[in-house]
Amino acid sequence: MTDTSDETLPDRLAANPKSPFHNAALLERGIGIRFNGVEKTNVEEYCISEGWVRVAAGKSRDRFGQPMTLKLSGAVEAYIRGPLAE
């Protein structure tokens, strides 16, 4: 991982298109999340400065059909996966 990839990532990013923190172009590039040193693949939203991630809670859905999430606190590290596609 390089420091330049950290600079291009926002402090907060969400996978839900209804969220004001959603960025489809950035999500298509592929974002990786390390939470407390462990790679997470089920992250719905993260905030680096506040130190939390929202992860999907199994297959549970809320009344609007969105995945139920759990908010976990800890060290969050975000990075861009693989080569940049142009």
The answer to whether 69 and 54 have CB atoms below 8 angstroms apart is yes
**Rounded CA gap, 79 and 58, in Å?**
24
Q: For 20-71, what is each residue's pLDDT tens digit?
A: 999 998 888 889 999 999 999 999 999 999 999 999 988 999 998 888 999 9
Question: φ and ψ at 11, to 5 degrees?
Answer: -65, -30
